[in-house]
Amino acid sequence: LVISLASSFYLDHCVQIIGGKESVPHSRPFMAKIKGSTICGGTLIKSNWVLTAAHCNITKTTEVILGIHSEKDTTKQVFKINKHIPHPCYDSVTMENDIMLLQVYSKGYI
């Protein structure tokens, strides 16, 4: 995952996943939705740490959501972000080192 995030590049917000298929509901409980002024994905790597891309725009109102397959799911866990730490060598022009850690206030359970 780190390698794929680190080597990822910025795509226009209108681009969709092409050729993908829907996963089995709740088969990826470690996957996170990062919802703020933009939507990003992430992975719970420890109970209160999420790995995501540094290009994700994190604001005071951004939330990390675990446990959803669709927006209607009632099993979701919603967290506020305590701290965001982009890679110290992240380059927003080249998208090099496009990884970031998010520390949430409480522990997520999968």
Q: Which pLDDT score, from 0 to 100, does residue 6 have? A: 40
The band of 98, judged by pLDDT with boundaries at 50, 70 and 90, is very high
Query: pLDDT at residue 24 above 90?
Result: no
CATH of the domain at 41: 2.40.10.10
Q: pTM, whole model, 2 decimals?
A: 0.77
Q: Provide the pLDDT confidence category of residue 18 given band limits of 50, 70 and 90.
A: confident
Total domains, the chain: 1
* pLDDT, mean of residues 54-71: 91
Domain containing 34 equals: 1-109
Torsion angles phi and psi, residue 30, rounded to 5: -85, -10
Angle ∠(102,24,58) on CA atoms, nearest 5: 20
Please state the rounded mean pLDDT for residues 30-41: 90
